Amino acid sequence: MSSRRQVLKQLVAMGALAGLSALPRAQAATPEAKASAVGRYHMPDEAGPQARVWVAFGASRDIWGRNYKDVQATIGRLVQAMAPHTEVNVLCREEEEDLARQLCGEGSTRFIHAELDDIWLRDTGGVFVQDEQGSLGLVDFNFNGWGDKQEHEQDGGVAEWVSTQADAHYLQSRLTGEGGGIEVDGKGTAILTESCWLNGNRNPGLSKAQVEAELKVNLGLRKIIWLPGIKGKDITDAHVDFYARFVRPGVVVINMDNDPDSYDYKVTRQHLAILQQATDADGNKLELHVLPPPLGGRDNKFSRSRDFAAGYINYLPINGAVIVPEFGDKAADRYCQDLLARLYPGRKVVAVNIDPVAAGGGGIHCITLHQPA
């Protein structure tokens, strides 16, 4: 199966770098818009009130092979799990609208036609931001297929389309990156991985200070906590949403891989050590909660995929609920659900079998995009 973790479109190394270097650095939609936007917008806490969640019903045979129908069905289950709690906007190809309606249901759900390559809307759809009056903006981080590793001709235009449909002020960053690579507390602190943002396949020639400065303007940040991540082990170059998540300001859930044969065994311990010493933008130490992946679970064609992403850390908080994956490891599933129930009091923890999506190297957070209220 051609999956998210496999390279679908490799460029000759020198040609790729030359092409990326030649790309015009994006600005706000107009000079006037850029001038008015600088310093105005910030990215809110994800666990705050939301207007809706966006999903891309975009699985295709070209990318997912014969398992694409299983992925479509999984997206349908996910939408139906969310719909009792929040409005859901489903992007779909015009010719697949009837199927999307059949699988996703039509309760609290709106279907919007879009040209799509794949399902990873967290990365392709941009990042919603708000100004001090609560007006909505959307920052386009110029999706390039995680460094030209996958076809993205259609997905490269999704963020602008989402901003139009959401009636959000459209802003383009000068950086290339993805929403899955951003984790914020809504109060000026972000956690990011160096392997993703400080990478020549996205931002060649830019220093750490330059990347920081642009992200602070784009997202209203005052401090960035950098984790090393790891390059080249997955298609995203280690997005932070598989390593550390803000529950609320000052409280962070961290992935802790307990499989000594996994490359993440060392990486997650490095991240823990950094976060134990870190402070937020206001100088406060972080309260950390460990959430390990399962070591067991279902044995099927999906879980046997070399790209299978069995991580609970990629959960999604929404209005009144937290949507989590379950992998058939009863003890690990229960630990995850109990922990998140404690950390998100008053919200229902809803577990969904996402094995077909996990086989492509992603999870619930990867295929959704929350819009703040």
Can you tell me the distance from the alpha carbon of 131 to that of 129, in angstroms, rounded to the nearest whole number? 7
Can you tell me the distance from the alpha carbon of 98 to that of 104, in angstroms, rounded to the nearest whole number? 10
Q: Name 316's bridge partners.
A: 323
| E strand spans, the chain | 50-57, 88-92, 109-113, 127-130, 136-140, 169-172, 183-184, 189-193, 223-227, 244-248, 251-255, 287-291, 316-318, 321-325, 348-352, 368-372
List, by residue number, the catalytic residues: 366
What contacts 349, CB < 8 A, 6 or more positions away?
A: 321, 322, 324, 337, 340, 341
Secondary structure of residue 260 in the 3-state scheme: coil
Angle value at C-alpha 216, between 125 and 372, nearest 5 degrees: 45
The 8-class DSSP code of residue 119 comes to: S
What torsion, rounded to 10 degrees, do the Cα atoms 191, 286, 253, 134 define?
-60
Cα-based distances in Å from 3 to 98, 181, 285, 313:
25, 19, 39, 20
What contacts 211, CB < 8 A, 6 or more positions away?
A: 175, 197, 198, 203
Contact (Cβ atoms closer than 8 angstroms) between residue 319 and residue 364:
no
Phi, psi dihedral angles at 260 (to 5 degrees)? -65, -15
Can you tell me the distance from the alpha carbon of 175 to that of 18, in angstroms, rounded to the nearest whole number? 16
